Structure 1
Amino acid sequence: MSKIKTFIAIIMAVMLTLTLVGCGGDSGGEKAKSDKVIIKFSHVVAETTPKGQAALKFEEIVEQKSGGQMEVQVFPSSQLCGDKEELEALQANTVQFIAPSVTKLVGFVPAFQLVDMPFLFANDEAAYKFYDGPAGQKLMKTLEPVGMLGMAWWPNGAKHFTNSKRPLKTPEDFKGLKFRTQSGGLLDAQFKALGAGSQTLAFAEVYQALQNGTVDGQENTFNNIDTQKYAEVQKYLTISNHGRLDYVVLTNTKFWNSLTPEQQQIITEAMKEATDFERQLAEELNNQSLEAIKATGKVEIYELTEADRAAFIKALEPVYAEYTDKIGSEYIEAAKACN
């Protein structure tokens, strides 16, 4: 009999331990106040980037506001999850926060292609106005059915054209050139409408492809153009602000629903502060990079005028005709209204 009692006691102890360990994944927010909430934030870029620095700022603010009752563990540079695995890890609640490129979400909700729509946003301010407005907030929430909740838009910056052949001032200047894209679909349609070819290449392969002439040009932020040293293999830069390279910060819905209202408020406030910090840093780095590109003396720079932009918008009407319904006219019109 004593052995049976001992066995039962062991089983009860094990069950109690498993219950305590599993609290972090329970929904409903029924945690004891003494329990520390562990939050894993995984991303794929270096700590020195705007996204990397903002993740650390988020960690600092959450831990400060919670008095140490919430701990954020940041894993940069794919230390925990790679680019292809992070979305699955978030859905499984293995990690609680990620900040993928917006275009990574197109497979779940096609409307996220909006950031690739050419010449949709006139400048950074117009993009932020959309992101922070009703339409941008609604778009973030469309991921809830697949277990993900959008928390914030973190910009990387506007895209600009570079190439090795000639200045790009009009749509006609693109004819016959070949450009690298980060994904097909809409971006292929963009270059096709301009009479140019396109090829999808991984980010790490772009410099060599530009160097050996596999492609003539590419589109990117000032900071990426600068830090990837494209000025060594590209002669012309057009300041076009024609598209966006931005991120959406996501959390797991089950994790979010497990938090108390007070804990949710702490995270919301911390995310707002981290987002303001990230946007300022992204703008500063892009501005510094543009000056660095100018300082090389190797690149001829042209900035599109309003008349130039109007000509490009006219030439790219076929892209809007093809993709407005796929993205949603509600989002397209809301974005245009922000300019």
Structure 2
Amino acid sequence: MQVLRRTVLAAAFAAALAAPFAALAQDIKPRIIRFGYGLNEQSNQGRAVKLFAQEVEKRSGGKMRVRAVGAAALGPDVQMQQALIGGAQEMMVGSTATLVGISKEMALWDTPFLFNNAREADAVLDGPVGQKVMAKLDEKGLVGLVYWENGFRNLTNSKRAVNKLEDLDGIKLRVMQNNVYLDSFKTLGANAVPLPFSELFSALETKTVDGQENPYNTILSSKFYEVQKYLSITNHVYSPWIVLVSKKWWDQLSKDEQKVLRDAAVASRDFERRDTRDEAGRALAELKAKGMQINELPPAEAARMRDKLTRVNAGIGANIGMDLWQETQAELAKLREKK
């Protein structure tokens, strides 16, 4: 009986000692990751961020959780990039075009008519060239994880259909805050106006600008059809998004935590590209149903635009470094031979 009583007392004492530690374990909070993005929650960007958040929580066993903040609530791309560099925000996804002021090599992706199709884009972005460009961010206070698809960019405006090069003359066209975009559209005859995406709808509505250029999905999810009449299919630039992490914050993570984020990012990339491409065809049909007048730029006019932009392309090569430019062209030539 005494042995039994001692056993019970010992068990009770052990339980009493363990209780505070169990409570402490329950009180350990998961690592919260603020992930900012520009589009709304219902967009292809919003859906992919949601999947990324689910993957992070699952792969970390709930120890890491993503707090997604969309609709540019944490600021436009440039503001979020600075917040990441300073360590005030953990993650974001945004356009590579807005990174050019931080890392000049990112201007490679702004080259007009660089890719003929999504297959070429995937191969170059995920291959040695894309990874080399991404790695340059490390020394700038950012870590690139993966490229997502934004898609081929097309023109919309409230003035007229763009069927030929001359139709761009004098159109006030919003472009991203990026010198390649500014130079390209000025060269093509448009009055290029740099504006943050968060200000674009209002600028179109008030006629501060006449038009803009974005992929179908963004035109639809941002409801530009409410303030734009003409959509001209130009496919003038393939514009990727990039998932970024604050290097200050990243360097504080364990290798396991970094792996969780990298693996979740790859899963989100594969989902996002499928989702975006599936949606693009539906988006174009829906934009037509909503009353937009849609025309396709004839190949001969696309060739005229490409020729007109020779100087801009030469400038991109000189700016990013001719070695990188030639490596990219060689990779594209190889891909085109495999057709």
* Same fold? TM cut 0.5: yes
Q: Which secondary structure state, in structure 2, belongs to the residue aligned with residue 99 of structure 1?
A: strand
The alignment status of 1:109 with 2:108, answered yes or no, reads: no
Higher mean C-alpha displacement, 50-59 vs 197-206: 197-206
What is the deviation of 1:68? 2.4
Identity of aligned residues (%): 34
Contact kept, 8 Å, 2:97 with 2:178, in 1: the verdict is: no
The alignment partner of 1:68 has SS state of coil
Q: Between Structure 1 and Structure 2, how many residues are aligned?
A: 305
1:155 alignment partner, one of 149, 152, 171: 149
Residue of structure 2 in register with 1:217 after alignment: 211
Q: Measure the CA separation in 2 of the matches of 1:140 and 1:166.
A: 38
Residue 257 and residue 178 in structure 1: after superposition, are their counterparts in 2 closer, same or farther (change >3 A)? closer
Is the alpha carbon distance of 1:254 and 1:206 closer, same or farther for their aligned partners in structure 2, counting shifts above 3 Å?
A: closer
The aligned residue for residue 131 of structure 1 is 125
> How far apart, in 1, do the equivalents of 2:202 and 2:87 lie?
38
Shift of 1:258: 3.6
1:37/1:212 CA distance change after superposition, 3 Å: closer
CA displacement at 1:237 relative to structure 2: 2.2
The corresponding residue for 1:178 is: 172
Partner of 1:59: 53
Q: Is the 8 A contact 2:142 2:247 kept in 1?
A: yes
Give distance in 2, aligned partners of 1:316 and 1:59. 40
Structure 2: which amino acid aligns with 1:319?
A: V
In structure 2, relative to structure 1, the CA distance for the partners of 1:48 and 1:300 (3 Å cut) is closer
Rg larger in 1 or in 2? 2
Does the 8 Å CA contact 1:121/1:335 hold for their aligned counterparts?
no
In the alignment, structure 1 segments of 5+ residues that lack a partner are: 1-31
Deviations 1:285-308 (A, max 9, x none): 322210112223440322443x44
Give 1:233 deviation, angstroms: 4.4
Summarize deviations over 1:135-173 as a string: whole Å, max 9, x none: 111111111112221101122222101234443233233
Partner of 1:197: 191
Structure 2 letter corresponding to 1:264: Q
Cα distance in 2 for partners of 1:146, 1:207 equals 31
Deviation, 1:208, is 5.4
1:223–1:286 CA contact under 8 A, matched in 2:
yes
Q: Does 1:89 align with 2:83?
A: yes
CA displacement 1:112-151 (0-9 Å, x = unmatched) = 1223221112233322222101111111111111222110
Q: What is the letter of the counterpart of residue 96 of structure 1?
A: E
**How far has the Cα of 1:215 moved from its partner?**
3.8
Query: For residues 106 and 142 of structure 2, what CA distance do their matches in structure 1 show?
Result: 14
Within 2, Cα distance between the matches of 1:95 and 1:135? 28
Q: 2:262 aligns with which of 263, 268, 280?
A: 268
Q: Quick check: 2:162–2:297 contact (8 Å CA) kept in 1?
A: no
Aligned residue for 2:162, secondary structure, equals coil
Between the aligned partners of 1:235 and 1:78, the Cα distance in structure 2 is 25
1:319 pairs, out of 312, 322, 325, with 312
User: What does residue 240 of structure 2 align with?
Assistant: 246
For 1:40, the equivalent position in structure 2 comes to 33
- Matched to 1:75, the amino acid is V
The Cα shift of 1:36 comes to: 6.3
Alignment of 1:294-313 (within 5 A): 294-305=288-299, 307-313=300-306
Q: How many angstroms does 1:335 deviate by?
A: 4.3
Whether the 8 Å CA contact 1:178–1:217 is kept in 2: the answer is yes
In 2, distance between residues paired with 1:206 and 1:70? 34
One-letter amino acid matched to 1:94: A
Q: Say which SS state the counterpart of residue 94 (structure 2) adopts.
A: coil
What is the identity, as a one-letter code, of the residue corresponding to 2:56?
V
Distance 2:206 2:188 in 1: 23
2:3 alignment counterpart:
none
Change (3 A) 1:36 1:296: closer
> How far apart in 1 are the matches of 2:189 and 2:297?
21
Aligned mates of 1:206, 1:259 — CA distance in 2: 37
Question: Residue 259 of structure 1 aligns with which residue?
Answer: 253
| Alpha-carbon distance between aligned partners in 1 of 2:242 and 2:171, rounded to the nearest angstrom | 32
CA shift for structure 1 position 107: 1.7
Structure 2: stretches of 5+ with no match in the other structure: 1-24
Range moving further from structure 2, 200-209 or 267-276: 200-209
In 2: Cα distance, 1:316 partner to 1:219 partner: 17
